[in-house]
Amino acid sequence: MSIKHHNPETVGKPAGPYTHLVETDDFVFMSGQAPIDSDTGQLFSGSFKEEADLVFKNIIKNLNFLGLDLANVVKVNAFLGDIEFRDEYNELYRQYFKEPFPARTTIVCGLGTLKIEIEVIAYKRR
């Protein structure tokens, strides 16, 4: 199995000791994406919807770097800063993903100032 590591310039440099994308023969593992403005490299703070939209845009940019899109995503792990965001997250999720939906885990946890972070696994051969 071959393994490649990618840090696409379109999403900015990682904010810590990690790689944005780890690509294997069949799968892509994406590190958690936060609402980082890829133009400035700065954390964006706004409404839950604004932050979530930016997170999804960063996910899409990462996938596009490898010629993939959201249809390739088979697993989503979402981390919400507060349970109050659950219904809004479900609504946004349906805007970005279509049936049949990817497998999904949603965890409510302390994210500091972040309202949301999402990591995905994508299958390359669709």
| pLDDT score of 9 more than 90 | no
Q: pTM score, two decimals?
A: 0.93
Report pLDDT digits (tens) over 79-124: 999 999 999 999 999 999 999 999 999 999 987 889 999 999 999 9
pLDDT, average across residues 50-79: 97
| Alpha-carbon span 85 to 57, nearest angstrom | 19
Report pLDDT digits (tens) over 25-47: 999 999 999 999 888 888 889 99
| Alpha-carbon span 94 to 46, nearest angstrom | 21
In this structure, the strands spanning 73-80 and 103-108 are parallel
pLDDT tier at 126, thresholds 50, 70, 90: low
pLDDT at residue 32 in the model: 94
pLDDT tier at 16, thresholds 50, 70, 90: confident
> What is the number of structural domains in the chain?
1
Cβ-in-10-Å burial (0-12, 13-18, 19+) of 122 comes to buried
User: Could you list the residue range(s) of the whole structural domain that residue 33 is in?
Assistant: 4-123
CATH code where residue 84 lies:
3.30.1330.40
